[in-house]
């Protein structure tokens, strides 16, 4: 009965959707171990920063953005102005504007409400896995049921894994000693997630510039060094991308 509600009552269509969804889950499975560690440590960090368990769970469910959560937490602890917190979270998530542009050709056939729902569950991993796979197949002229349900499979894997691990970290966070060094584990997990996505000259340039600026601006007030690093990295990636396009047009 539940399968009919999710995949539809038509046997042929349900089988098509189910197969594509399962393929998405298999594609994202190797990345879920690192994502689990990242979610667990993020959950611990939210309660260690002073949020109540319910506030931390609400943040995890509403935001579904570990990087933005960790960028906002020290500002909240430092009692920074609300506009600084909001701008920091927005700048850190500017990459999702690029993600939206990259995903639009594949989902433009869907109603706005469904596209907004897909936007909520979209993450770095789901975007990287799906678009890199589809770019080898050529972009569809019309909407593709297989691609939509493949993406749902990828996103359901990342969303469920993140929420379970993050909420687990929130629930046990107050009992974890600070000397366990989970911050370093989180960095390793994040590196494992990010490195496979850094492909091509624009992304390499953006990562190098953002990393360099983040180190140099680490002492900036209100933790704004991270904001500056993100803007600098995006700018560097765009400049390199434009230079490649001009070179190719000659």
Taking only the tens place, the pLDDT of each residue in 132-186 is: 888 776 554 445 788 899 999 999 999 999 999 999 988 886 665 555 555 555 5
pLDDT of residue 142: 47
pLDDT tens-digit series, residues 56-71 = 899 888 888 877 887 7
For the chain, give the mean pLDDT: 79
Segment of 149-158, 188-197, 233-242 carrying the highest mean pLDDT: 149-158
pLDDT of residue 180: 53
Query: Do 187 and 218 lie in a common domain?
Result: no
Range of the domain at 71: 2-197
Across residues 37-46, what is the average pLDDT? 83
Query: Do 57 and 181 lie in a common domain?
Result: yes
Query: Do 99 and 220 lie in a common domain?
Result: no
pLDDT of residue 175: 62
Query: Do 170 and 243 lie in a common domain?
Result: no
Query: Do 23 and 126 lie in a common domain?
Result: yes
Query: Do 118 and 205 lie in a common domain?
Result: no
Cα–Cα distance for residue pair 58/62, rounded to 1 Å: 6
pTM of the model: 0.72
Query: Do 154 and 186 lie in a common domain?
Result: yes
Query: Do 219 and 178 lie in a common domain?
Result: no
The residue with greater pLDDT, 32 or 142, is 32
Q: Does residue 105 carry a pLDDT above 80?
A: yes
Q: How many domains does the chain have?
A: 2
Across residues 123-139, what is the average pLDDT? 80
């Amino acid at each position: 009965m539940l399968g009919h509600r999710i995949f539809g009552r038509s046997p042929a269509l349900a089988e098509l959707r189910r197969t594509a969804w399962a393929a998405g889950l298999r594609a994202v499975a190797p990345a879920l171990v690192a994502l689990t560690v990242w979610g667990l440590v993020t959950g611990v960090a939210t309660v260690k920063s002073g949020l109540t368990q319910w506030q931390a769970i609400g943040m995890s469910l509403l935001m579904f953005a570990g990087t933005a959560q960790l960028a906002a937490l020290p500002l909240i602890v430092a009692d920074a102005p609300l506009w600084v917190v909001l701008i920091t979270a927005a700048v850190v998530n500017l990459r999702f504007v690029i993600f939206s542009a990259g995903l639009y050709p594949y989902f433009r056939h869907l109603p706005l409400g469904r596209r907004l729902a897909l936007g909520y569950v979209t993450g770095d991993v789901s975007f990287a896995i799906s678009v890199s796979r589809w770019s080898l197949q050529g972009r569809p002229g019309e909407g593709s049921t297989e691609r939509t349900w493949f993406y749902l499979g990828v996103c359901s894997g990342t969303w469920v894994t993140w929420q379970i691990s993050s909420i687990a970290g929130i629930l046990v966070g107050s009992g974890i000693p600070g000397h366990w060094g989970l911050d370093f584990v989180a960095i390793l997990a994040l590196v494992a997630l990010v490195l496979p996505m850094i492909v091509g000259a624009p992304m390499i340039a953006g990562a190098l510039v953002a990393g360099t600026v983040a180190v140099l601006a680490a002492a900036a007030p209100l933790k704004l060094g991270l904001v500056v690093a993100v803007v600098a990295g995006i700018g560097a990636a765009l400049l390199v991308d434009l230079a490649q396009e001009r070179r190719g047009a000659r």
